[in-house]
Chains A and B, each alone.
Chain A
Amino acid sequence: MASSSSSSKTGLKKMLTLKSSDGDEFELEESIVIQCQTIKHMVEDGFSLIPLQNVDTKTLTKIIEYMKKHAEKTESNKEEIKNFNKEFVKGSFDDQFELVSAANYLHINGLMDLLCQSIADRINNKSVRAVREIFNISNDYTPDEEEKVRDEHKWAHEGGEFDESLD
């Protein structure tokens, strides 16, 4: 739809439109969007308007921000990208989970790696209870069962205080 009109605006660059689950449309250069494997395959199949039913506007905005920045990656701005990444993963767990689900669905490997590592670092020292809360998982063990599982690797539950906070 937008592809032919936008090409004229930006010279030879081919444009694509991404549509969020809320119906908002975002126009981007193809060279930026092909970091995303899922979209790359759709482009190869001839699509120029790409509906993303699993990604809402808020998440898509963040993901586009990430893709734009990483499309600028060169040898000389490594430090800048590093700082960008650091800022990018600062949101709440819920925001991170929305992003990681979207990155997984869209197959953006770099973003997937960044988010998974950041979440892993953040839950590294959390207590079991905190991990459950953070991931919104209900405990389906009986107290006896849980104790048994704990006893199988007792040492893993020892060694100092675990973090009970949820952020």
Chain B
Amino acid sequence: MSTFPRDVIAEILCRLPVNRVLRCRCVSKSWLALIDSPGFAKLHVTYSLKTNSNNLCLLLRKVDYYGYGKRCFYSIHFDSLNSRVITPKEMTNPLMSSEFNTKILGSCNGLLLISNTVDDTALWNPSIGKYKKLPVMGVGDNPVHVNFGFGYDVANDDYKVVRIVQFSGSEKGCFHSDVMVYSLKSSCWRGVDEQLPYVLRYVDQPGVYLNGSLHWIASAKIEIPASKLELLIVAFDLGTEKWRLVPRPRYTDTGFIVNLVVLGGSLCVYKTYFVDSYSDWGDVDIVLDHVHIWEMKEYGVKDSWTGVASLEQPDRQLGCTVVPLAYSNNRDEILVEQDNRRFLWTGIKEDSIKIVDTGVGTLRGFLHFNSYVYLGSLVQLTSNDDLNKQYNADKGGNKKARKKSPSKSHNSPDRSHSQGNSSQPNTVEKDNSSTRSPPKDAEEIQTIEDEHTSEVEKDVQ
């Protein structure tokens, strides 16, 4: 079978979960080259998305109220949620810091946007253990809030981070915003011409990715009381870098919080309703009452918004949050995270609730967590520069540059070719702020080297 066509091998391997594919890198040099190629990573992602298959994982992030303890993550393969014994896998947090709990601000095709502070953010593929720190980009003076989003620009085959910084405007209740886009391909931040004409409603809700766009809940301006607000869905097209409105469901009531989520490949909103609860002692507490999930069955079509499920809070005493995460394979159930401490499978048609025992809480002192859905994928964090460098290393036999270690991007200063940003230190090295800006000389040498490599590549083409 030595003449087995390469594309048939690819068709077979793209149906395996990530860890199995990675193991197959050891089979031979040609299999390694195939598996490491961007084309194969894309095929693998496309197949996983198309079949909604076995590659979904949950990432658990510890919520640490006391500011100490290990800030690591755990990963659980989606398929294992139904098995009797679940073994969550410990993941090393690339932004591990004693000061901050690392937040997850976006998830797309296996890459996660993670952040400690606005100056300390990275893209991370937990499945292959690779990450890349984003260059530091100042937020300006007195921002009201900073929001992020992360997704895939289909048109340009690029991954992009969007950062929105909002400032108080001159008119009361109005904000003006500064929108920047980081492109993985070019490795730099760039300003966006078209500014966001709305106010993001929820500071702690990052953009939700679907169909080449990022989505946020927003309103025209801030009003008090908040119930008077018209809650819109704004979308940022990562290809055209333009804002637009996406039709929202008709809200006939008030008194809820709206969140966006993607379930089963559709944009959904879930509305969380609260009620007053009186304890035996006469105290009043606001507790969660129920959650309504609406799905936009056909993207962009207003009339396709359909109510799909109403999740009642099973245990009011403990109830604070219910976060829908994903449909089950047969779409009969929705996996939800309840109160940051456990997972439930809740029936859509039938009123059933199954508690999933992840073993995380009792085993590892991981009492509270946030969870995120991500795809197991092989997508690399390489920019065009990295590809050039790789090419140069392969050509010149520079073993050091070729070495693949998780800290690769760490050690190689990224250059700032970006417009109007040449003075920004574009590299973050370790968490120590004193090493953040590379010596000027080193940066220049790096740029020259890169121009050289670009030429070499052109020659070959």
Residues A116-155 near B (CB distance < 8 A): 116-117, 119-121, 123-125, 128, 131-132, 135-141, 146, 149-150, 152-153, 155
Write out the residue numbers on chain B whose beta carbons fall within 8 Å of the beta carbon of A135: 1, 4, 9, 27
- Which residues of the other chain, A, contact B244 by a CB distance below 8 angstroms? none
B12 and A119 contact, CB distance less than 8 A: yes
Stretch from B16-24, B164-172, B269-277, B281-289 forming part of the interface with A = B16-24
A100 interface residue per 8 A CB criterion: yes
Give which listed residue, A119, A128, A136, A140, contacts B23 with CB less than 8 A: A128
| Docked-complex contact A153 and B7, CB < 8 angstroms | no
Residues on B with C-beta less than 8 A from A119 are 12
| Residues of B contacting A104 in the complex (Cβ-Cβ under 8 angstroms) | 5, 7-8, 11
Give B53 Cβ to nearest chain A Cβ, in Å: 10
Residue from A97, A101, A140, A153 within 8 A of B129 (CB atoms): A153
Residue in B4, B19, B30 whose CB lies within 8 Å of A101: B4
Query: Is A101 a contact partner of B15 (Cβ separation < 8 A)?
Result: no
Name the CB-closest residue of A to B9.
Answer: A135
Give, as a whole number of angstroms, the nearest-CB distance from A38 to chain B: 14
Shortest CB-to-CB span from B443 to chain A, Å, is 29
State whether the Cβ of B299 lies closer than 8 Å to any Cβ in chain A: no
State whether B12 touches A137 (Cβ < 8 A).
Answer: no
Chain B residues with Cβ below 8 Å from A1 are: none
Tell me the bound Cα distance from A104 to B2 in angstroms.
Answer: 16
Residues in A with CB closer than 8 Å to B4 are 97, 101, 135
Say yes or no: B32 contacts A149, CB within 8 Å. Answer: yes
Q: A132-B28, A141-B26, A141-B29 are in contact. Are A156 and B5 (CB under 8 A)?
A: no
What is the CA–CA distance of A128 and B31 in the complex, to the nearest angstrom? 11
Judge whether A146 and B1 touch: CB under 8 Å.
no
The interface residues of chain B lying within 8 Å CB-to-CB of A52 are none
Q: List CB contacts (< 8 Å) of A95-124 with chain B.
A: 97, 100-101, 104, 112, 116-117, 119-121, 123-124
Answer whether residue A58 sits at the interface, using C-beta atoms and an 8 A cutoff: no
Bound Cα distance from A156 to B376, whole angstroms: 13
Assess whether B404 is interfacial by the CB under 8 Å rule: yes
Number of A-B contacts (CB under 8 A): 82
Q: What's the Cα separation between A117 and B13 when bound, in Å?
A: 9
Give Cα distance in the complex from A87 to B23, angstroms.
Answer: 29
Contact yes or no, A124 B20, CB < 8 A: yes
CB neighbours (8 Å) of A140 from chain B are: 28-30
Q: Does any Cβ of A come within 8 Å of B49's Cβ? A: no
| Residues from chain B with Cβ under 8 Å of A101 in the complex | 4-5, 8
- Give the size range of A's interface with the partner: 20 to 34
Q: If A104-B8, A140-B28 touch, does A157 touch B23 (CB 8 Å cutoff)?
A: yes
Residue B89 interfacial (CB < 8 Å): yes
Known: A112-B11, A119-B12, A153-B129. A137 touches B26 (CB 8 A): no
Tell whether, in the assembled complex, residue B15 and residue A153 are in contact, meaning their CB atoms are under 8 Å apart. Answer: no
Asked whether, in the complex, the Cβ of A137 is within 8 Å of the Cβ of B5, the reply is no
Asked if B103 lies at the interface with its beta carbon under 8 angstroms from chain A, I say no
**Contact assessment for A153 and B128 in the assembled complex, using a CB-CB cutoff below 8 Å:** yes
* Most chain B beta-carbon neighbours within 10 Å: one of A116, A117, A146: A116
Q: Which of A94, A120, A153 contacts B25 (CB 8 A)?
A: A153
Residue of B13, B16, B17, B26 touching A149 (CB-CB under 8 A): B26
- When the two chains form their complex, are residues B13 and A120 in contact, meaning their CB atoms are under 8 A apart? yes
The DSSP consensus for interface residues of chain A is helix
Complex CA–CA separation, A139 to B30 (angstroms): 10
Contact between A97 and B1 (Cβ–Cβ < 8 Å)? yes
Contacts A104-B8, A135-B1; A156 near B22 (Cβ below 8 A): yes
Whether B89 contacts A155 by the Cβ 8 Å rule is yes
Q: Is the CB of B27 within 8 A of A137?
A: yes
Residue in B17, B30, B404 whose beta carbon sits within 8 Å of that of A152 in the complex? B404
CB-CB under 8 A from A146, the residues of chain B are 26
Q: Which residues of A contact B16 (CB under 8 A)?
A: 120, 123-124
| Residues of B close to A123: CB separation below 8 A | 12, 16
Chain B contacts with A in 366-404, Cβ cutoff 8 A: 404
The residue of chain A having its C-beta at the shortest distance from the C-beta of B89 within the complex is A155
A137-B18 Cα distance, complex, nearest whole Å: 21
Given contact pairs A136-B1, A138-B28, A141-B29, A120 touches B15 in the complex (Cβ within 8 A)? yes
Enumerate chain A residues within 8 angstroms of B29, measured Cβ to Cβ: 140-141
Residues of B within 8 A of A159 (CB): 19
Residues of B close to A117: CB separation below 8 A: 15
Looking at the complex, which one of A94, A120, A155, A156 makes contact with B12 (CB distance below 8 Å)?
A120
Q: Are B11 and A116 closer than 8 Å at their CB atoms?
A: yes
Taking CB atoms, residues of chain B closer than 8 Å to A128 are: 23-24, 26-27
Report which of B5, B8, B26, B129 forms a contact with A150, defined as CB distance below 8 A. Answer: B26
Given the known interface contacts A153-B128, A155-B89, the answer about A116 and B12 at a Cβ–Cβ threshold of 8 Å is yes
**A108 CB, nearest partner CB in chain B, Å:** 13
A137 touches B25 (CB 8 A): no
Residue of A132, A135, A139 ringed by the most chain B CB atoms within 10 A: A135
20 residue pairs bridging A and B, Cβ less than 8 Å apart: A97-B4, A101-B4, A101-B5, A104-B5, A112-B11, A116-B12, A119-B12, A120-B12, A120-B16, A123-B16, A128-B24, A132-B27, A135-B1, A137-B28, A137-B31, A140-B28, A152-B404, A155-B89, A156-B19, A157-B23
List residues of chain B with CB under 8 Å of any chain A CB.
Answer: 1-2, 4-5, 7-9, 11-13, 15-20, 22-32, 89, 128-129, 404
Additional A-B contact list (7), CB under 8 Å, known A101-B5, A124-B16: A100-B8, A104-B7, A116-B8, A124-B20, A125-B20, A135-B1, A137-B27
Q: Which 5 A-B pairs have the closest CB atoms?
A: A120-B15, A156-B22, A153-B22, A136-B1, A156-B19
A-side residues, CB < 8 A to B, are: 94, 97, 100-101, 104, 112, 116-117, 119-121, 123-125, 128, 131-132, 135-141, 146, 149-150, 152-153, 155-157, 159
